Amino acid sequence: MNRMLPVLALVLIAGCSASHENASTPTSSPSSPSSTSAASSAAPASSAPPKPSPSATNVPAELGLCTDADLAISNGDVVSADTLRRLAVSFKNTSSHPCTLVGYPGADLVTAAGGVLVHVDRRPAAAAHRLTLNPGDTANADIEASAIDTVSGKACPRIGTVVVTAPGVDVAHTLNAALPICNATVSSVD
């Protein structure tokens, strides 16, 4: 019985992968089971599962990435929690078609004249998110900064106006918000 389980699993995997092939594959001659068992003894079971994966990754790519024209970018109020300052940033799909956002927005803290004080670092994550936004859907990210300079232990000496770009977009948007420039990070879209 224990020997039959791996063979049965391989037959099921082969049957699942055969359903993605043309109709002539499942209706082949009785030699198919022996060729399946020969293939199962020659190839490890882990080689079969990657077949569905490429088709799954192709689906979001067909939708296309969101462009600046597809999105309205807005922000909430700066929220204070002890020595941290947090700003929520929203990316709303205002187009009539779905589009995809992948990864992190760009963020800078700038002077009143537009000079970059600090480029906001990306917050470490296991993986950047890939989100498909239907018309009217909103994705969010947040920017956090410290009100305390970790080197000196004193109040962060400067504040900068927040400028963001949507993930994969090069058009910058100045937000009506300012954050301390010390230890600023941005999250991926969620």
Q: What is the mean pLDDT of the chain?
A: 76
Give a yes or no: residue 62 inside a domain.
no
pLDDT grade for 125, boundaries at 50, 70 and 90: low
Give a yes or no: residue 55 inside a domain.
no
What does residue 77 show for φ and ψ, rounded to 5 degrees? -80, 155
CB atoms within 10 A of CB 111: 12
Does residue 38 sit in the same domain as residue 86? no
CA–CA dist 152, 183 (Å, integer): 13
Does residue 76 sit in the same domain as residue 167? yes
Does residue 45 sit in the same domain as residue 74? no
Does residue 43 sit in the same domain as residue 123? no
26-78 pLDDT, tens per residue? 444 444 444 344 443 444 444 443 333 333 333 334 579 999 999 999 999 99
**What tokens does 175 get?**
């937000």
Does residue 84 sit in the same domain as residue 34? no
CA–CA dist 38, 71 (Å, integer): 53
Q: Tell me 47's DSSP state.
A: G
Give a yes or no: residue 31 inside a domain.
yes
Does residue 27 sit in the same domain as residue 84? no
Tell me the pTM.
0.66
Q: What is the domain count for the chain?
A: 2
Question: How much of the chain, in percent, has pLDDT values that exceed 70?
Answer: 66
Q: Could you tell me the residue range of the domain that residue 100 belongs to?
A: 68-186
**What distances in angstroms separate CA 44 from CA 6, 26, 85, one per listed residue?**
10, 21, 52
Q: Are 103 and 97 in contact (CB under 8 A)?
A: no
Does residue 105 sit in the same domain as residue 149? yes
Give a yes or no: residue 58 inside a domain.
no
Q: What is the mean pLDDT of residues 75-85?
A: 96
CB atoms within 10 A of CB 157: 10
CA–CA dist 71, 57 (Å, integer): 23
